[in-house]
Amino acid sequence: MTSSNKPTRRPENPRFSSGPCTKHKGWSLDALSGALLGRNHRQKDTQGRIAQALDRTRALLKLPDDYRIALVPASDTGAVEMALWNLLGPRGVDVLAWEAFSADWVTDIVDELKLSDVRVLTAPYGELPDLAQVDFARDVVFAWNGTTSGVRVPNAEWISGTREGLTICDGTSAVFAQDMDWRKLDVTTYSWQKVLGGEAQHGMLILSPRAVERLETYTPPWPMPKLFRMTKDGKLMESVFEGSTINTPSMLCIEDYLAALAFAERVGGLEGTIARADANAATISKWVAATPWVDFLAVDPETRSNTSICLTLVDPAVTALPADEQAGFAKRMVKRLEKEGVAFDIASYRTAPPGIRIWTGSTVERSDVEALLPWLDWAFACEKEALGELA
């Protein structure tokens, strides 16, 4: 590929953002026509709509019957914060951090909750902490899929089935795209805006019976904001897990989520949404294997994400540059592709190593991924050619 060989085929949908992620093919505003706008969210009809979203989610994800699921405020972040503030404290905590958002949970646990018995297991971008070092006599906080690093845990086999502590999993870029062993997860959170391409600001919180028991037997020593409260008089607020909400949700966004769930049902349920993400990721993997200027940021193939694909530039002409100039090279590639209208929002996360991040979740069409790849080669060739002219 040279700069003069501009591809002719363009992605039908150039939206490869890692959040909010693209809508599924065929989505339109007509999907929202049945939204119960202007209706109180605590009435029978509106609560019924929310309960329907919870029930269909439960069925699609194949949650155990004794697990509870709720719609909560403030996206995945709000759901994680609710878990941390309500559940942590009675025993030591192991928190795993290998990218930006898992590092945020370290900050909350250490600096905000000020827990003293905390072990932080870290790894640089592209790697996982040593999972064998996790102590399941303690509570464990981790992200299943690192959105900003493209590194995920390979499975749940490393999690003890006889653990004493709770596992609190930020699953926002994994739920509906990766096979998760629910019996190994006591708390799981995600947001609609990721794998199913829903709208932002609404979070989902999934609790095991062990998590519910902790909620009903432990009272944190710190004040609990109203938005985080899940118990009343020492008992779980069951209504929150049956269609009621802590604060006012958007009925428009709920209707959009129902449309996203219908999409998941049409493509074959959980197996179908996982297969779509896997196929997209495999398409990029095949291209990376044949492309000398690029590689995965994730070092181990077993830990490479199938949703947030993070790529690094390994061409000697680029790696020889100072770090800020490497970042500039990648940014110019991204801007060139945006100008052509073939890829939006594919720059690496602001704190991640310079490179490219391509969302390949279940709402992305494999044909669009295939169409994008020659454009990446073209943009690289253009920038490398310009680099030679400047030398």
* pLDDT tens by residue, 171-229: 999 999 999 999 999 999 999 999 999 999 999 999 999 999 999 999 999 999 999 99
- Alpha-helical segments (H) within the chain: 44-61, 75-87, 100-107, 209-217, 251-266, 269-289, 316-319, 323-340, 366-390
pLDDT score for 1: 63
Please name which of 359, 354, 297 lies closest in space to residue 126, comparing C-alpha atoms: 297
CATH of 269-390, picked from 3.40.920.10, 3.30.70.2190, 3.30.420.40, 3.90.1150.10, is 3.90.1150.10
The span from the CA of 146 to the CA of 305, in Å, is 8
What's the average model confidence in pLDDT over 123-150?
Answer: 98
Band (pLDDT 50/70/90 cuts) for residue 139 is very high
CATH 2.40.70.10 fits 29-264, yes or no: no
**Predicted confidence (pLDDT) at residue 27 exceeds the cutoff of 80:** yes
DSSP string of 196-215, one letter each residue: T---SSEEEEEE-HHHHHHH
The whole-angstrom distance between residue 289's C-alpha and the CA centroid of its chain comes to 25
**Predicted confidence (pLDDT) at residue 94 exceeds the cutoff of 90:** yes
Residue with tokens 């003069």: 4
pLDDT score for 390: 62
What 3-state DSSP class applies to 309?
strand
What's the average model confidence in pLDDT over 365-382?
Answer: 98
pLDDT score for 391: 54
Strand order in the sheet with 294-296: 294-296, 308-313, 355-359
What's the average model confidence in pLDDT over 232-239?
Answer: 96
For residue range 288-312, list pLDDT tens digits in order. 999 999 999 999 999 999 999 999 9
Residue with tokens 């989610």: 57
Domain boundaries, given as residue ranges, for the chain: 29-264, 269-390
The span from the CA of 232 to the CA of 244, in Å, is 15
User: Is there a contact between 241 and 69 (Cβ–Cβ < 8 Å)?
Assistant: yes
For residue range 113-123, list pLDDT tens digits in order. 999 999 999 99
How deeply is 265 buried, as exposed, middle or buried, from its count of CB atoms within 10 A (0-12, 13-18, 19+)? middle
**Predicted confidence (pLDDT) at residue 2 exceeds the cutoff of 90:** no
User: Is there a contact between 198 and 192 (Cβ–Cβ < 8 Å)?
Assistant: yes
What's the average model confidence in pLDDT over 273-296?
Answer: 98
User: Is there a contact between 375 and 337 (Cβ–Cβ < 8 Å)?
Assistant: yes
Structure tokens at 85: 């503030």
